[in-house]
């Protein structure tokens, strides 16, 4: 560590985790959607601007805007620092939830939850990981990134039962008002602890020489700009893989409460909480493993496991095989596999293109998540409305995961062959 500089890495990491614990309310959308769909089915006059096919739209718009905002916020936090960027995010999320608490209009919910809250979540999320990983050595990038983003995945563990209680006790819109006020305070408060290391700080462990003096400094990282990374094939491989691997997970996240209702009844929110535990655990575990064996090997393994789980889910949901225990175990592992992406991809972005422009570079990669969040849940909702079953969506997800998994296997083999050729040349 650089001498004379207090390492604030762990306080920054925990603050980032706390911010994500609030912003992870996005992953509880299925509970809000279930309430909205109930009112649509009952033909409640206040909700006549909604249709069954459009019930997921605020969520998919939020995912898309979240990703777009990540690019803007990434550049802002690279230039102006994470405190200001995260604070703006907290304010926007709060305003968005206050707006939807005052209306049942479909358009207002798309604006409030989709656009305003989506932008706020993007600003807060983009500000949490970069300052944390800058305080730690390269060998811990995956673990630290996993810990910070674990908060986003873990949020549903407490937000799901809390949402369930608030909606039943106070109604959907009052619940939105409560969340808006609370999360503004939490995010803006924790944002004050986000700080980048001072100029010249080096977190790398330096081994002493035989004479007891410090070894020569490690060579400077490659620091590429967004325009430069978009000229590389690696960027597009990462983007397409991220699009498919997270899109399939977002289908489950957006519908888990509805899926669980058939198995768990009134305890459907438990499915959301279990998915969140898997989501958070997968981020930490995959980050740690990818530090040891590499990002791509870890990712390939996760892709094939996720495809298998999606395929198994088609039969388990149809025939209710194994009842509640099997459903919860399946949900746990699907959540873990989805969560693994959210630590592997930021770590891979830092590995490939350095820290200087990490915020905006990861924002560019993360745009795949937003497009996936717009496309996959929307297509899934349309398939469910057309077929009356969720099985078609699961089959679509499983096939796309297998395709991208196979693509990555061949990509890894091609890279190894290229490296072997260079070594023997």
What's the rounded Cα separation, in Å, for the pair 243 and 262? Answer: 29
Residue at 208 is within a domain: no
Residue at 4 is within a domain: no
What's the rounded Cα separation, in Å, for the pair 86 and 194? Answer: 8
Residue at 234 is within a domain: yes
> What pLDDT is stored for residue 213 in this prediction?
42
DSSP state letters, 30-84: HHHHHHHHHHHHTT-GGGTT--GGGTTHHHHHHHHHHHHHHHHHHHHHHHH-HHH
Check if the beta carbon of residue 194 is closer than 8 Å to that of residue 77: no
Cα–Cα–Cα angle for 52, 56, 57, rounded to 5 degrees: 105
| DSSP-derived 3-state class of residue 4 | coil
> What pLDDT is stored for residue 257 in this prediction?
64
Range of the domain at 227: 9-198+223-419
The DSSP 8-state label assigned to residue 117 in this structure reads I
What's the rounded Cα separation, in Å, for the pair 156 and 415? Answer: 39
> What pLDDT is stored for residue 215 in this prediction?
39
pTM of the model: 0.75
Listed residue (314, 344, 346) closest to 330, CA to CA:
314
| DSSP-derived 3-state class of residue 214 | strand
| Residue 239 phi, psi dihedral angles, 5° rounding | -60, -50
> What pLDDT is stored for residue 295 in this prediction?
87
Residue at 2 is within a domain: no
Residue at 85 is within a domain: yes
Domain total for the chain?
1
- Return the CATH number at 240: 1.20.1250.20
Q: Which residue has the tokens 């630590």?
A: 343
**What tokens does 40 get?**
């649509």
> What pLDDT is stored for residue 18 in this prediction?
94
Cross-strand partners of 214? 208
What's the rounded Cα separation, in Å, for the pair 373 and 350? Answer: 23
Listed residue (223, 167, 116, 157) closest to 22, CA to CA:
157
Neighbours of 52 (CB within 10 A): 13
Half-sphere exposure of 333 (CA within 13 A, CB side): 16
Neighbours of 322 (CB within 10 A): 13
Residue at 378 is within a domain: yes
- Angle between the 29-41 and 233-264 helix axes, to the nearest 10 degrees? 50
Residue at 3 is within a domain: no
Residue at 424 is within a domain: no
> What pLDDT is stored for residue 55 in this prediction?
84
**Who's near 243: CB < 8 A, 6+ residues apart?**
368, 369, 371, 372
What's the rounded Cα separation, in Å, for the pair 303 and 394? Answer: 14
Q: What is the pLDDT along the chain (425 residues), one digit of tens a residue?
A: 455 567 788 999 999 999 999 998 887 887 888 889 888 888 888 888 898 878 888 988 998 898 889 889 988 988 888 999 999 999 999 999 999 999 999 999 999 999 999 999 999 999 998 899 888 888 888 889 889 988 887 887 888 889 889 998 999 999 999 999 999 999 999 999 999 888 777 776 544 444 444 434 444 457 888 889 999 988 999 999 999 988 888 888 767 766 767 677 777 777 778 888 898 898 899 988 988 888 888 988 988 999 998 888 777 666 565 677 888 888 899 889 888 988 899 889 988 898 888 888 988 998 998 888 778 888 887 887 788 777 888 888 889 999 888 888 777 666 655 544 534 44
Find the distance separating the first CA and the last CA of the chain, reported in whole Å. Answer: 38
| Residue 361 phi, psi dihedral angles, 5° rounding | -65, -45
């Amino acid at each position: 560590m650089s001498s004379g500089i207090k390492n604030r890495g762990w306080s920054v990491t925990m603050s980032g985790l706390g911010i994500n614990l609030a912003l992870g309310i996005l992953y509880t959308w299925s509970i809000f959607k279930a309430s909205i769909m109930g009112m649509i089915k009952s033909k409640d006059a206040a909700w006549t601007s909604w249709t069954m096919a459009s019930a997921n739209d605020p969520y998919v718009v939020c995912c898309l805007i979240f990703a777009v905002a990540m690019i803007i916020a990434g550049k802002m936090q690279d230039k102006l620092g994470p405190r200001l960027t995260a604070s703006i995010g907290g304010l926007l999320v709060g305003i968005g939830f206050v707006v939807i608490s005052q209306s049942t209009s479909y358009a207002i919910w798309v604006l409030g939850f989709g656009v305003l809250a989506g932008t706020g979540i993007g600003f807060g999320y983009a500000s949490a990981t970069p300052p944390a990983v800058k305080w730690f050595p390269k060998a811990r990038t995956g673990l630290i990134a996993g810990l910070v983003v674990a908060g986003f995945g873990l949020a549903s563990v407490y937000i799901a039962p809390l949402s369930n209680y608030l909606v039943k006790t106070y109604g959907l819109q009052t619940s939105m008002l409560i969340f808006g006020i609370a999360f503004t305070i939490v995010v803006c408060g924790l944002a004050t602890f986000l700080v980048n290391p001072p100029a010249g700080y080096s977190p790398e462990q330096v081994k002493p020489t035989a004479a007891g003096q410090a070894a020569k400094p490690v060579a400077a990282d490659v620091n590429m700009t967004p325009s430069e990374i978009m000229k590389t094939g690696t960027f597009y491989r990462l983007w397409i893989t991220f699009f498919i691997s997270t899109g399939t997970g977002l289908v489950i996240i957006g519908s888990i409460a509805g899926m669980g209702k058939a198995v768990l009844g009134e305890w459907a929110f438990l499915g959301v909480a279990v998915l969140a535990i898997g989501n958070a655990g997968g981020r930490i575990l995959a980050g740690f493993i990818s530090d040891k064996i590499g990002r791509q090997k870890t990712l390939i393994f996760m892709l094939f496991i996720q495809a298998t789980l999606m395929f198994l889910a088609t039969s388990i949901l149809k025939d209710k095989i194994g009842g509640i225990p099997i459903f919860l175990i399946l949900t746990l592992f699907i959540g873990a596999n989805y969560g693994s992406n959210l630590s592997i991809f930021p770590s891979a972005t830092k590995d490939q293109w350095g820290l200087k422009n990490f915020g905006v570079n990861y924002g560019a990669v993360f745009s795949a998540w937003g497009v996936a969040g717009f496309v996959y849940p929307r297509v899934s909702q349309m398939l469910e409305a057309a077929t009356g079953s969720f099985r078609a969506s699961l089959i679509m997800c499983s096939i796309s995961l297998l395709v991208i998994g196979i693509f990555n296997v061949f990509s890894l083999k091609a890279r190894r062959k290229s490296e072997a050729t260079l070594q023997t040349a």
